[in-house]
Amino acid sequence: MASTRSYAETGGGPAPASFARLLARNGLADEAFDLLRHHIDDWSLAKALIDVAQGAGRDEEAAGLLAARIPAGHECDSPWCCRGLEPHPAIGLLATVHERQDRVEEAVALLSTRQFTSLNGRDQLADLFARHNRIDELRSYADTEPLGHAARRLAELLEERGDVDGAITVYRQAGNASIRRGNAAVELARLLARHDRYDDAIEVMRALADAPGGAEDWIVDMLCTLYADQGRPQDALTWLDDLKARRGKEEWELFWIRLPLMAACGRVDEAVELPRAHPEGTTSYAAEHVATLLANAGRTEDAVIVLEQYAPANTSTLAGYLIDLGRPTTARRTDDTAVAGRATILNVLPGTGLQAARPSYLRECTDEARLPFDIRLPVTRLILSDLDVCRYRHTIALWHEQRRRRTSSTPSPSRSAGRSWYCCGLVSGR
């Protein structure tokens, strides 16, 4: 913590929030609260303040800071009014505090002043109704909420209670009313698949994908995944062939979907060679898909050879495979900044955890010349927590890769080849 304190106290961006959460997790919630209270006008820092306030026993103080930023008698005058910064997001944060204080009616009243209470696919008011078993109010809200997020929460609640048919009905009705019909159909298909009704799930996705303009890559991917999960990869390939025939071409966003399907049919070598004939088959992102095919087939050495041809692109993925092969030193040379911490973790003997690695790991990860602050702080978090090594083995490299892609001027593919970019959430513990 000493190595990151100066950055948190003087720096901007996510540094104060990250450091405050670190303090709170280590029994210093009061200090974390005091660090953030003067940053209440910044959305991300205000959110962190609310997170640490409970542990510090200072919810009432946090509520006062937020209430002071809500204009008297405030009502949203546009759909996006309370989704940005300025005083208005204080409504959602204050509602969170009130709910923690068992002042649920006040929280509902606050959230009802906003036209939309959805953010990142979740609806705060719908979640509140569900948590407090107010299902009738949730039903009424789902009938009017246009994005379908409230309907999804209602369906989730019904499924949790064993009312699968009721959840199906909610999704079907939401698909007809929502401005995002595709989202409701995908959620319905997932629900059906969870209950082994794959034929029904495929029928839902086929109807969506076959509709005019419906064959978007994420929808096609979902359809083909359902086919594969049911043991019918060849049927998925047949559908892709028909789609290609109708369109007269196959964009990479759809082309790559067929590659794992071919592998599932035992045609790994053919799948590896096929991208050569595609206009985008010699790009670094195509190489990442091919490498994933090879690695999943147990041919990690071949995957490394493919990725090495496109270095320095895909360094994070390449480093991961090198570590899987027991070559962390080579991985470190491949992308020293991105994998310094990860290579150290994997040098720990199996079963010994992070404790044995802490001294050398701290020296590596707090060296200014090696890791920029936004990587160094989460790395320090890992050291201070006894986290599962396997779960976090790729976190640091993925974090660095995410930063590289954000700042790169080179276009990146719409999807990664089997890698998840949720590393920020993993590191922060959210």
Confidence (pLDDT) at 266: 95
Specify burial of residue 152 (Cβ count, 10 A radius: 0-12, 13-18, 19+): buried
Q: How far apart are CA 206 and CA 198, in angstroms?
A: 12
Q: What is the dihedral of CA 187, 191, 196, 200, to 10 degrees?
A: -50
Nearest of 247, 243, 123, 258 to residue 180 by alpha carbon: 123
Long-range own/partner contacts, residues 152-161 (CB < 8 A, 24 or more apart)? 152/183, 152/184, 152/187, 153/122, 153/123, 153/126, 153/127, 153/129, 154/126, 154/130, 155/187, 155/191, 156/130, 157/130, 159/191, 159/194
Q: How far apart are CA 138 and CA 129, in angstroms?
A: 6
Confidence (pLDDT) at 73: 63
Confidence (pLDDT) at 67: 85
Confidence (pLDDT) at 192: 97
Q: How far apart are CA 146 and CA 142, in angstroms?
A: 8
Q: Concatenated DSSP letters for 194-243?
A: HTT-HHHHHHHHHHHHHSTT---HHHHHHHHHHHHHTT-HHHHHHHHHHH
The answer to whether 207 and 226 are in contact (CB under 8 A) is no
The answer to whether 63 and 51 are in contact (CB under 8 A) is no
Confidence (pLDDT) at 296: 93
pLDDT along the chain (430 residues), means of 10: 69 77 90 87 85 93 86 57 52 91 93 70 89 95 87 95 96 72 88 96 95 91 96 97 93 93 95 92 91 94 92 83 80 51 38 39 38 41 38 42 45 35 31
Q: Concatenated DSSP letters for 139-173?
A: HHHHHH-TTSHHHHHHHHHHHHTT-HHHHHHHHHH
Residue showing tokens 């990142």: 120
Q: How far apart are CA 293 and CA 281, in angstroms?
A: 14
Cα 92 versus chain centre, distance: 21
The answer to whether 87 and 68 are in contact (CB under 8 A) is no
Q: How far apart are CA 246 and CA 259, in angstroms?
A: 20
What's the token pair of residue 330? 């080579």
What's the token pair of residue 385? 């927590």
Confidence (pLDDT) at 197: 96
Confidence (pLDDT) at 372: 41
The answer to whether 399 and 424 are in contact (CB under 8 A) is yes
Confidence (pLDDT) at 310: 87
Confidence (pLDDT) at 152: 93
Quickly list H helices, 15-163. 15-25, 29-36, 43-56, 59-67, 90-100, 104-111, 124-131, 135-144, 149-160
Specify burial of residue 418 (Cβ count, 10 A radius: 0-12, 13-18, 19+): middle
Q: How many degrees, rounded to 5, is the angle at CA 109 between CA 106 and CA 111? A: 110
Confidence (pLDDT) at 287: 92
Question: Taking the chain, what is the end-to-end CA distance rounded to the nearest angstrom?
Answer: 20
The answer to whether 428 and 377 are in contact (CB under 8 A) is no
The dihedrals phi and psi of 123, each to the nearest 5 degrees, come to -110, 120
Q: Is the pTM of this model over 0.85?
A: no
Distances from the Cα of 375 to the Cα of 197, 401, 423, angstroms = 44, 11, 11
Cα 13 versus chain centre, distance: 20
Q: What's the half-sphere exposure (Cβ side, CA atoms, 13 Å) at 227?
A: 25
